[in-house]
Amino acid sequence: MFGLLLHLSSLTSSDYGLDTHLHLAAIESNEDGTPNLEWGDVRSEDPLASNPADEQILERGWWQILELYPSWLLPFAALLPMLALIGILLVMANGRPHLAALVAIHPGLIFATGRLYPESTVALAVAGTILASLHIFERRGWALLQWVLLAVASIHLLVLVKGLSSMLGWGLIGILFVWIALDRTVPKFRGYSRNPLMGLSLSISIVLSAMIAASFMTEGSLSTMRTHPVAWLFSLFVAFFDGFGLYLLVGLCCWPFLPDLMGSVKEADENGSVFLFVFVAAGTLLMSMWIASLWVFEAERWNLPLWENMFLMGNNGRYLTALIFPLLLLLHRTVGQNSCSFGKPLLFAMLVVLPLSLLAGLHGQTMWTDDAAQSFSDEIDVGEDFLYIDDEGLAMHWLYTFRIEVDPEGDRAVTGHWRAPDSNWQIELEGQVLPNRGDLSGVRYLVVAPDIVADVPEGWEKIASGTAPFLNGGGEWKVYRAIG
């Protein structure tokens, strides 16, 4: 109950997160049938400037789930699947609340609820996949059909929310069904599917082969595996401890039970427990490799030191909360009900986590851009533009946080632009148009991010300023308006 209260508090005290603002912008633009980011791709071709002509289309993603909710229910879009996940855990533990309580106080999930992030929906989709798979191992005849349908629906929900291709969903379904079919029909394969170490070696080989192949087939973030191997390996090491160590073991308060868990898993010879172990291990490796690739790719693109970018994007480790259900189910099945009994180890683990849970639930997240946008949203005319000056890291994400206040319905035709402080944006305000950049001739308002030194040219007057919240880095932001 305390955890649920923190989730409700997070709803009331937090603004939407950066990624959520992107998806809300896609919903608004989808009224004409094209879910695009109309102020430009968040990974702009020019790393120092945005270009509204280079619209990013979000063909699939979290926005499609958010679009299903009526406006009055939208703030609860992350809480409702969280409640469903807690309900499944209560049923799984025969009404005992110990596992559900650990999930309810998880600071990462409280954080996601307030910011309308999809972590609880992803965790629920994984839970559906796990439950369906365990039943498919055992069922026969027509009883299989409902669990097969649940597995297909859950995996496709997972890839949809993450904005991945539906073909990847069918590929994952194929791997899952092949694993189960071989376990049921091929006795020799049971040496892998019912042996934790053999199953682990097979699953890791599959993940590594798939990710390495993808690094040669794409030019996106995964390509950093081959272009920056040393930096990528270092990032992988950090991503593992960030995601699995902090967001799973510490966030779930289950790290004191890890030695008992590993000891029980080594002796497991039942396909369900081995499947859970393999799923958690393979999922951890897959997502850690993905996070490491994102860190290296964005650091290179934004010209940031790798360590600074890892700190800036450290909350990417929350992606591993997708594995909460299989990890807790594995703990429940292998160690037993005494695994989460209230004792000194669990008490110490909770003393570590509860301050973070309180911070996520009671403080929430506030955005200085709300106040900055409100200072000129009533004055800006239809068709006018504004310019946002900020450093490269996540600047385009911050640009889209102005959208709700400045042009929520998209009917004012307001365009937001972004420039880095050293991008020579002053000459663009004078009318010069540079390649791969938007035209700034229509800019009438100028927003300077906190602690950014900007040489504002003559002909502009300051109309507003304020201090950003401490958790946003603090510092003074400023808003200018063109004179005349």
* CATH annotation of 368-482: 3.40.190
Mean pLDDT for the stretch of residues 339-367: 81
Q: Quickly tell me which residue has 């189960």 as its tokens.
A: 180
Mean pLDDT for the stretch of residues 445-457: 92
Q: What 8-state DSSP symbol labels residue 2? A: H
Please give the Cα distance from 370 to 368 (Å, whole number): 5
Mean pLDDT for the stretch of residues 31-42: 85
The reported pLDDT for the residue numbered 269 is: 80
Assign 220 a pLDDT band (cuts: 50, 70, 90): confident
- Per-chain mean pLDDT for the chain: 90
Look at residues 242, 255, 254, 247 and name the one whose alpha carbon lies nearest to residue 288: 242
- Residue 54 CB neighbour total at 10 angstroms: 17
Task: Please check the confidence at residue 85 and state whether its pLDDT lies above 90.
Answer: yes
Task: Please check the confidence at residue 279 and state whether its pLDDT lies above 60.
Answer: yes
The reported pLDDT for the residue numbered 58 is: 86
Mean pLDDT for the stretch of residues 370-380: 91
Task: Please check the confidence at residue 289 and state whether its pLDDT lies above 70.
Answer: yes
Alpha carbon separation from 366 to 9, 14, 110, 119, 405 (Å, rounded): 13, 6, 15, 20, 14
Look at residues 34, 28, 36 and name the one whose alpha carbon lies nearest to residue 74: 28
- CA 352, 321, 105 angle in degrees (round to 5)? 40
The reported pLDDT for the residue numbered 312 is: 84
Q: Are strands 443-448 and 385-389 parallel, antiparallel or unpaired?
A: parallel
- CA 355, 359, 363 angle in degrees (round to 5)? 155
Mean pLDDT for the stretch of residues 400-410: 88
Mean pLDDT for the stretch of residues 450-469: 90
Mean pLDDT for the stretch of residues 51-58: 88
pTM above 0.85, yes or no: yes
Assign 50 a pLDDT band (cuts: 50, 70, 90): very high
Q: How is the chain split into domains, by residue range?
A: 205-334, 368-482
Q: Are strands 56-57 and 36-37 parallel, antiparallel or unpaired?
A: antiparallel
Task: Please check the confidence at residue 339 and state whether its pLDDT lies above 60.
Answer: no
The reported pLDDT for the residue numbered 96 is: 87
- CA 349, 8, 247 angle in degrees (round to 5)? 35
Task: Please check the confidence at residue 403 and state whether its pLDDT lies above 70.
Answer: yes
Q: What radius of gyration, in Å, describes the C-alpha atoms of the chain?
A: 24
Look at residues 148, 165, 153, 87 and name the one whose alpha carbon lies nearest to residue 126: 153
Assign 139 a pLDDT band (cuts: 50, 70, 90): confident
Assign 337 a pLDDT band (cuts: 50, 70, 90): low
Report the DSSP beta bridge partners of residue 465. 478
